[in-house]
Structure 1
Amino acid sequence: MSRKNIAMMIFMLVATLLLTGCWDVTEPQRMYYVRGVGVDYEDNEYITYLQIINFATVAKTEQANPDAAPTEIGQARGKTVEEAIYKLYRSMDQDVFWGHMTFLLFSEKALQNEHAISVIDTFLRFRETRYHIWVYCTQDPIEDVLLVSPLLKRSPTAAKLSNPKNIAEQNSFVDPINLRQLVIGLNEPSYEISIPYVTINKNWETEQEDTTETSFSGVGVLSKDSFKGFIKGQAARGIEWMSDETNQAEVTVQLNNDEQDHLTVDIKKLSVNVKPIVHNNQAAFDVLLKFNVVLNGFKGKLSSDEVREKVSAEIKKEIMDTFKKGLEMDTDVFRLSEYLYRNNVKVWKKVEQDGKIPLTEDSIRKIDIHINKISPGRKTFAETIEE
C-alpha cells in the first residue's frame, strides 16, 4: 500500500473519530406526540387534556392498524395550564414532542372570565408549538370530543379537528380559525372573534356498533376581556353568507306551487361586499352578495325569477336572524366595526365605544343580492327551469 493511501486512511479515521454525531437527540420512536389539547376550568383550576397520537395508525392514512389504539387521552389539574401539563409529564415514560399539535379545544367555562387568554398566550409563547393551530370550543365533555375517531377507522391525523379545510369545498358553514387569526381578531376592531363550535354527531353506525363524528354547529364569540356566548344551529346560518371564504353552501326554500313544497340549491362562488354609509357621524352598512345557484333536483315547472326571489329572501332572512342574535349577546358578529375602521377611521374614532361602534337592527341598511347564474344541472327528466 502506498504512503499516499496510508495517509488518506489515517486522515479518514481521525475525521471519523472527531465527528460528534447526534448523541443528544431523542430517537423518534422514544417520544410521545401531542396532536390536540383540551382545556376546561372547574373549582378555580384548569383541567388540561392531552391527546397523544399513536404513529402505528399513521403509516397508512386510508386504513390504520386495527390492533393499535389510535390515540390516548391524559388529564391533570393545576392552577395554571403549565402546572397541569407538568403533572402529566410525571405520569409519562417518554419525552413529549409538541411540534405536531394541530388543535386547541376550549370548554365553555374555559372561555369565561379571560381564562382563555392566558391559555392562548401559553401556546403562543412555547417554542415548539406553531401559530397554525386550529381553535375550537364546545359544550360537550372535552374528553368525549377528543376520543372521537374518524369514520371508517382512518388515521387520527385525518380527523376533522386536525383538517377542517377538508370539508370546506363541499360545506363552508363555519370558517376555521387558527391561533394567528384569533390573536389578530382580538387585537383589531371590534376586538371579538368567532370560534367554531364543535358538537358530537351520533348519526353514524356500522354493522357492529354506533359510531360518532364531530360536527361544526355554530360559533362561540370571544372578546378580549369576556366570552359573549354561543350562536348555534339555524341561528348561525347567516355567518356563511357574510364570508368570502364560503366555497359552497346550501339553502332550502319553500315554493308556492302544488307540485313541490321545498327546494334545496347549492350556493357557489360567493362574493361579499360591505360598504359603510356615514351620515352625521352615524354609520350604517349596505351589503352586496353575488353568487351562482345550482339546482340539484326539482319536480315540475320552475321559473328562474321564482328561484331568484325565494333564494334571495331566505338568505336575507338568515343574515338578519344571525345579526339580531348577535345584538342580543352584545356582539358584532359580522365585524361591521372593522369595515368602518378600514374605510373611515376618523368617523370610527368618533363613534366607537370600547373598540366597536353602537349597532341596532337598522345598522344593516339594506342587503342586495345578485344571482349571477342559475344552473339547472343535468336535464335527465323533461322538467327544466324556465327563463
Structure 2
Amino acid sequence: MKKITAFFICISCLLFLTGCHGHRSIQDLTYIVAIGIDYDLDKKEYIVYTQSIDFMNVAKQEGGRQTEPIPNWIGIGRGKTIYLALSNLFPKSQPPLFLGHLKAIIFSETILKHKFKEIISDLGRNETFRYTVNMFATDESLEKILSQNVLFHYPPLHNYLSRNTIGSGDTDFIQLMTGKMIVSNYYKPIGSVMIPSFGISEHTWKSDGTYPVIYTKGAYFFQQKKYKGFLKMDQLKGFIWKSQRPFKQTLPIYRDGDLIAVISVFNPTMDIKVREQSLFPTFDIHANVQASLVEKRENISFSELHEETSKSLKKVIFDTYEHGFKRKLDIFNLGDRWYRFHRHHFKAFSKSNPSAFYLKKNALKNIELEVEFTNFNSFKYNHHQQNYHD
C-alpha cells in the first residue's frame, strides 16, 4: 500500500514540473549579432540595419573551414525612433528575430554628429541593448560594412564586430569600447571618449576578383559631450600607449630623414603626473616600453640605435598629443589625474573659465621614455661596449 501511495505522489508531482513547452530550437530563431544605426536628416527618421548569422553554418566550422561563401542576412527597417525602426522588421522576419546574442552596434557618422546624445540615452532605457555590447562607428555604408565576410569564407560571427580585440599579432590596434565605457566617459566633466572606426579595403586581397575586407580605419572622439571629429590610425600611433595593455607595434626609425632601422615595441606603461598648478595645468609623461630590432638598415652602434629609438618614440607620443590638441581634445586624458587629485584647482579653474579648454599648447611639458631592448634577432650587439658586431 505504501508503494502504491508513493507511486501516485510521484506521478502527481510530475504534473507540476515545467517542460520544454514554448522552447525554440536554434533553427527557429533569427539571431541578430550586429546592428547598424543611421539617421536620414531629410526624412527625420532612423534607419536600422541588422546582421544575422546562420548557426547551422557556424556549426559546420567544427568539422573544417567552410569552402563556400557564407550568405549574409541583412535586415533594414525605418522609423521615427530606433525601436520603431526595429519593430518594422519583426513582422517581416521569419523565423522571429532574437537580440539576445547582440555583439556590436555600429553608428554612422551622421549619428555621431547629430544624434549621439539621444542615441546613448535611448539605448540605456531598454534591456535589449546591454552596456557590454561593443560600439563602433563608420563613414562607410552600414549595409556594406555588415555585408562583409572575412577571409576564407568565415561567417560574419568571426569578423571584427564579434572579436574581443581589434587586430592581433603585429598590427596596430586600438581598444574595443563597450557601451558602459563610452557612456561613463561621455558624461565626465573632463577627458575624451574614443569610438573605434571601421573602413573597407577594396584592393588588399584578391581571390577570383577583388575581396573587400574590414579594417581599423581610426577613431572618432568626443570631449565633454561635444563631437571632436575623426583621427586616422597614423595620427593615433601614440594613443595605444595609454591603454597600458599588451600590444605589438612595428615602427620605422629615422635619422636625419634616412631610415636606419625597423623595430617592434610592446608592453608599454605610461604614467601621467600633474606638474604645475598655475591657471592652466601642465603635465609630464613617464613611459616605459620594450623593443625588438626587426631590421637594421645602417651600421649603427647600440647607443645610436637606443638614442634614435627614444627620439622617434617620443615624437610618436607628442605628435598624437598635437593631433588631439588641434581639435581641443585631451587625447591622453591628461586632465583625468588633475580632476581626481587636484579637485580644488579644477573647481577654481571651472569657475573662472567655464567655457575654456583646460589644455594649452605647451601643457605637455616633458616626455621621459625608457626603452629596453630585449631582442636583436640576428644582429649582435655588445651592451657593455655599445658597439655593433657582425
Distance in 1 between the 2:304 and 2:60 partners? 49
Shift of 1:122: 3.2
Tell me which residue corresponds to 1:181: 181
Query: Structure 1 residues 199-208 or 79-88, which shifts more?
Result: 199-208
1:347 counterpart SS class:
helix
| Structure 2 unaligned regions, length at least 5 | none
Distance in 2 between the 1:21 and 1:68 partners? 38
Instruction: Establish whether residue 332 from structure 1 lines up as the match of residue 330 from structure 2.
Output: yes
Distance in 2 between the 1:254 and 1:192 partners? 31
Q: For residues 45-85 of structure 1, give each alpha carbon's deviation from its aligned partner in whole angstroms, at most 9, with x where no partner exists.
A: 21111111111222144645555744311112211111111
2:211 counterpart SS class:
strand
1:161 counterpart SS class:
helix
Shift of 1:256: 6.0
Tell me which residue corresponds to 1:288: 286
User: TM-score w.r.t. structure 2 length?
Assistant: 0.88
| Structure 1 unaligned regions, length at least 5 | none
Instruction: Establish whether residue 322 from structure 1 lines up as the match of residue 320 from structure 2.
Output: yes
8 A Cα contact 1:33 1:52, kept in partner: yes
1:362 counterpart SS class:
coil
Sequence identity (%):
23
2:50 counterpart SS class:
strand
Aligned pairs (5 A) from 1:1-387: 3-42=1-40, 43=42, 44-61=44-61, 63=64, 65-66=66-67, 69-113=70-114, 115-165=115-165, 167-190=167-190, 192-223=192-223, 225-255=225-255, 261-299=259-297, 301-352=299-350, 357-377=357-377, 379=378, 383-386=379-382, 387=386
Paired residues in the alignment total 378
Query: Which aligned segments of 4 or more residues in structure 1 are displaced greater than 4 angstroms?
Result: 60-68, 353-357
Shift of 1:173: 2.9
Q: For residues 219-238 of structure 1, give each alpha carbon's deviation from its aligned partner in whole angstroms, at most 9, with x where no partner exists.
A: 10124543211011322222
Distance in 1 between the 2:191 and 2:240 partners? 20
Distance in 1 between the 2:239 and 2:121 partners? 27
Distance in 2 between the 1:311 and 1:160 partners? 32
1:348 counterpart SS class:
helix
8 A Cα contact 1:35 1:51, kept in partner: yes
Q: Partner amino acid for 1:52?
A: S
Query: Structure 1 residues 311-320 or 16-25, which shifts more?
Result: 16-25
Shift of 1:206: 4.5
Q: For residues 108-141 of structure 1, give each alpha carbon's deviation from its aligned partner in whole angstroms, at most 9, with x where no partner exists.
A: 101112x122322333332233222111111111
8 A Cα contact 2:324 2:331, kept in partner: yes
User: TM-score w.r.t. structure 1 length?
Assistant: 0.89
Query: Structure 1 residues 61-70 or 71-80, which shifts more?
Result: 61-70
Query: Structure 1 residues 101-110 or 154-163, which shifts more?
Result: 154-163
Shift of 1:270: 0.5
Q: Partner amino acid for 1:119?
A: I
Query: Structure 1 residues 193-202 or 209-218, which shifts more?
Result: 209-218
2:161 counterpart SS class:
coil
Q: Partner amino acid for 1:75?
A: I
Q: Does the C-alpha gap of structure 1 residues 256 and 230 become closer, same or farther in structure 2, counting only changes over 3 Å?
A: closer
8 A Cα contact 1:337 1:357, kept in partner: no
Shift of 1:157: 1.9
Q: Partner amino acid for 2:18?
A: T
Distance in 1 between the 2:51 and 2:356 partners? 37
